[in-house]
Amino acid sequence: MIEFFTEPWQHVFMQRAFLVVLMSGVVCGVIGSHVALRGMAFIGDAVAHAVFPGIAIAFALQTSLVVGGIVAGLVTALAIAVVSQNRRLKEDTVIGVFFAAAFGLGIVVMSTAPGYGGSLESFLFGSVLGIGSADVITVAIAGAVLLLTTGVLHKEFVTIGLDRETARAVGLPIFWLDMAMYAMVTIAIVISIQAVGNILVLALLITPAACARLLTDRIGRMMLIAPAIGALSGLTGLYLSYAFNLAAGGLIVLTATAVFVACWVFAPRHGLLSHRRKIATAALPARP
């Protein structure tokens, strides 16, 4: 039993994978809490598609994938924010147009690069076992910056998430805070794509936060529970991947989903069983 936990750490590639998954889980858990609080899951999906052309261009030019993805995500986020000012178009409509276009551009660019098929598969589904030392350092630095920025802007983000009109009334710069959140979501997604892939990265951003939302009513606790679930899901998925020789990204997401189902059923105050107990108790006749 002990060998199950210790054996993967004897391989350098697994050590790197564990570190990246751990950091990605923590960062996505924290950022994802704000995303869930503001009902921005669709934004997360859009950004996940938007970073793809930047990564594809960086791959074709043999430059930093992280930088390429961040630049593409920020450009797309800015375009969405600007075009959304037109009141004839709803924000979700603009998002749908831009993320479909961005993903299509990414596929076209990827098709021009050597080794197109295998490279596209690694971007879509993740290649956490092929992460290099430079990638680990990049993820660590970007993750630290994200967590620090989240701490500095926490009150402002929470205020906007709970009541945008109140935030606007007290003079908060809504547009720029939205842009800051888009930028942070972009960076969190880019550093996590190598772990779970472009298609599955939204789950790492949203699912742990959804679990935390079911487990607590306090935002502070949610910010602690979500990254813990994200990190635990990542580590568990990697162990299962190593033990059964299955896709790491898929198992990480399935582990997080299993935790969500458990929370949905067993959460002390907001779970299915708790809700049914409350209904049954309310239906009991009052004692004389």
Q: What does the pLDDT look like over 48-77, one tens digit per residue?
A: 777 878 877 887 787 777 788 888 888 877
pLDDT digits (tens, 9 = 90+) for 237-284: 999 988 888 888 889 999 999 999 999 999 988 888 888 888 877 766
- Reference 209, options 21, 82, 6, 44; nearest CA is 44
Rounded to whole angstroms, how far apart are CA atoms 208 and 221?
Answer: 13
User: For position 88, what pLDDT does the model report?
Assistant: 66
- Within 13 Å of residue 184, how many CA atoms lie on the same side as its CB? 30
User: For position 108, what pLDDT does the model report?
Assistant: 81
Domain boundaries, the chain: 2-282
29 and 209 Cβ atoms separated by less than 8 Å: yes
User: For position 91, what pLDDT does the model report?
Assistant: 64
Q: Where are any strands of DSSP class E within 9-49? A: none
Query: Quick one: angle between helices 91-111 and 65-83, nearest 10?
Result: 150
Helix (H, G, I), strand (E, B) or coil at 239: helix
For the domain 2-282, what is the CATH code? 1.10.3470.10
Q: What is the DSSP letter of 113?
A: S
User: For position 119, what pLDDT does the model report?
Assistant: 57
Instruction: Please list the ranges in the chain whose pLDDT falls under 50.
Output: none
Rounded to whole angstroms, how far apart are CA atoms 16 and 139?
Answer: 11
- The amino acid at residue 116 is Y
User: For position 86, what pLDDT does the model report?
Assistant: 62
Q: What is the DSSP letter of 129?
A: G
- Indicate the helix (H) or strand (E) that contains 269: none
Query: Which whole-number Å values give the CA distances from 157 to 60, 147, 192, 202, in the listed order?
Result: 36, 13, 22, 20
Structural tokens at position 63: 């430059």
Query: Quick one: angle between helices 133-162 and 12-37, nearest 10?
Result: 10
202 and 257 Cβ atoms separated by less than 8 Å: no
Helix (H, G, I), strand (E, B) or coil at 63: coil
Is the overall model pTM greater than 0.85, yes or no? no
Rounded to whole angstroms, how far apart are CA atoms 157 and 35?
Answer: 10
245 and 228 Cβ atoms separated by less than 8 Å: no
